[in-house]
Amino acid sequence: MKKTRFLVLALSALMCVSCATLPKSGDPQVFTIEAPTRDPLYQMGSGPRADSTQIQLISDFLRACQAGASDDYQTARQYLTATAAATWQPEAAVLIYGADESPEVVAPSESEVTVSVHTKGSLDERGELSGADGSEARVGFHLEKNSEGEWRISRLDDGVLLSQPSFLTAFQAVQLYFLAPTQDSLVPDPRWYPSKRLASHLINGLIAGPSAELNDAVYTALNTSMMLPTQGVETGEDQIVNVDLVGSVPEGQAVRDHLAWQVTATLSQVPSTTGVSISLNGVELEPVVPPFGPRMWLDRAVGVEDGIIVVGEGESWSPLGVDTQGSVSHPGIGPASDGVVAWLSDRELVVLRDGDIASTGIITDLPPVVDRWGWVWVVPDGAKQLVAVGPRGEQAQLTNEIVDSGRLRAAAMAPDGVHLALVSGTTGTATVQSVLRDGRGVPVGLGAPEAQQFSGDVYDITWAGATSLATLTGTEEDPDVEILPLGGFVQVATGRSGAVAITGASSTSRIYLQTSDNMLYSRAGALWRPLGKKVADVSFPG
């Protein structure tokens, strides 16, 4: 049977061009999916020694677990009794500790061993990573001697302990792609899966569905009745990934097209993949052209120069070209190429849409945020709700426990329009929650906030690219820049003294700091390079 190929390269056309109404600085970027080009590395472990003490056995078992994802934990199971080896579920959870730490292994009794580590994160059986604050975790093991008089592990919890370097070697950060409520674009949902048999893990992840945080915010064409054959997903000699799904077949061509789009986009992250073939219950799916949503302009910024709004990309600027009719501050621009811009005029929210300027009557001090559907998000003075202003001036009022407390300090919307980041409280707590929308993109609710693990107090936040947050933490005199990929590990870099705001463009390499004297600095490795021209309130989408 000849398989139909869905070319991975076609995924660069996930979103289409729509007319721009603003001056453009540089070419627009397509909201693309990054595919690894390097095959994963695999570690190897060794079996138990005949003369091991209890502590030596557990220490060697922990080392064997570092390579467990490479050999399906076959070596690690040699340290267990037959009964324990048959029931132990190592992939149920992963507890991750730092690269600079060695687990503390002690034997409080002859048959008991305890391991203590300071955790940097934990991974559940769905591949979802949760950050940790470095608190101590203890794991217990019960041992007994086998018929040869050698110690073996007879009882242990499901899951494994891995150092962060071993985890990063054995597991790969990936995205499961689900559809936005309007079904014209994809929304990423982060996971960590073993690099071995990655394609099968990705498809099983799609079948299992989105995370609890995104469950009500996205749409999926796959369902939990589907499954893969025993051999999983196979890759041919031509590096085409063959997906044979069995189970309930989605009704309607549109749903099957969406399924093919999700599967092909998600599998594009498998290294060296050249294409994907998909069949449902043995019936091949025809090639599909992805729906065309908005093209993203993530490297286009707005700012204020000499009292007028300017558009640029950090170094070159041009006037917005409209009469703003009053003082302006804190402009914001949406990621889509339709060019919706919002700003504050004497603290009143003003919106430019399709060449028309509209005053909203909303008074606020917080900078407005524009999403990919053109909705403008603010918190009015004295309000205990987020307000989103739509294309026709309609307003959606959304209840939020953080806003309700009156402690909101900053907000940022991801390019997908589904992930909303908020900073609140005197200590600058950062959270991310989903935006619930109807089929037209109208906001109808908010998901539960999920706290993000940053090492310092956050005082400003931005998105940098599609899936990473960047924050200013600490103090303005001595700030740090912390970068956190969704579902990943935080990276800390030294900031620029005097930085009062942070804004990000299309990637984590395009992050900008603004100081109180309106100087703009761009990231250049570990340094911050001044861009020269003074432009106030610079803001990229998000």
The candidate with the shortest Cα–Cα distance to 170, out of 34, 271, 40, 39, is 40
How would you classify the pairing of strands 93-97 and 160-163? parallel
Winning range, highest mean pLDDT, from 9-23, 125-139, 196-210, 226-240: 196-210
pLDDT score of 12: 39
- pLDDT greater than 80 at residue 400: no
- pLDDT greater than 70 at residue 3: no
- pLDDT greater than 90 at residue 510: yes
CB 416 within 8 A of CB 180: yes
The candidate with the shortest Cα–Cα distance to 427, out of 450, 455, 386, 449, is 455
Q: Provide, for the chain, the percentages of residues in helix, strand and coil under a 3-state DSSP scheme, each rounded to the nearest 5.
A: 15, 40, 45
pLDDT score of 230: 85
pLDDT score of 109: 97
Where residue 10 falls among pLDDT bands split at 50, 70, 90? Answer: very low
> If you average pLDDT over every residue of the chain, what do you get?
90
- pLDDT greater than 60 at residue 22: no
- pLDDT greater than 70 at residue 309: yes
Amino acid identity for residue 211 in this structure: S
- pLDDT greater than 70 at residue 265: yes
Where residue 292 falls among pLDDT bands split at 50, 70, 90? Answer: low
Neighbours of 104 (CB within 10 A): 12
Q: What is the mean pLDDT of residues 35-40?
A: 50
pLDDT score of 339: 81
- pLDDT greater than 90 at residue 29: no
Residue 25 and residue 314: Cα distance in Å, rounded? 10
Task: Quick: pLDDT tens for 195-219.
Answer: 999 999 999 999 999 999 999 999 9
- pLDDT greater than 80 at residue 404: no
Which pair of tokens denotes residue 200? 């099968």
Q: What is the mean pLDDT of residues 379-386?
A: 87
CB 139 within 8 A of CB 114: yes
Where residue 30 falls among pLDDT bands split at 50, 70, 90? Answer: very low
Which pair of tokens denotes residue 55? 């502590």
Query: What is this structure's pTM?
Result: 0.90
Beta bridge partners of 386: 398
Of 12-26, 221-235, 499-513, the poorest mean pLDDT is in 12-26
Neighbours of 310 (CB within 10 A): 23
Beta bridge partners of 7: 275
Task: Quick: pLDDT tens for 164-199.
Answer: 999 999 999 999 999 999 999 999 999 999 999 999
- pLDDT greater than 70 at residue 11: no
CB 188 within 8 A of CB 466: yes
Classified as helix, coil or strand, 336 is: strand
Phi, psi of 211 (to 5 degrees): -65, 165
Residue 493 and residue 524: Cα distance in Å, rounded? 11
Q: What percentage of the chain reaches a pLDDT higher than 90? A: 76
pLDDT score of 251: 83
Residue count of the chain: 542
- pLDDT greater than 70 at residue 478: yes
What the chain holds in terms of domains, given with CATH numbers, is: 54-169 (3.10.450), 197-293 (3.30.300), 294-539 (2.130.10.10)
DSSP state of 363: E
How would you classify the pairing of strands 283-284 and 275-280? antiparallel
How would you classify the pairing of strands 104-109 and 93-97? unpaired
Where residue 17 falls among pLDDT bands split at 50, 70, 90? Answer: very low
Residue 401 and residue 407: Cα distance in Å, rounded? 10
- pLDDT greater than 50 at residue 1: no
pLDDT score of 24: 37
Of 20-29, 63-72, 108-117, 306-315, the poorest mean pLDDT is in 20-29
Which pair of tokens denotes residue 367? 């900078």
- pLDDT greater than 50 at residue 20: no
Q: What is the mean pLDDT of residues 261-284?
A: 93
Q: What is the mean pLDDT of residues 26-33?
A: 42
Phi, psi of 70 (to 5 degrees): -80, -30
Q: What is the mean pLDDT of residues 452-470?
A: 95
Residue 95 and residue 137: Cα distance in Å, rounded? 9
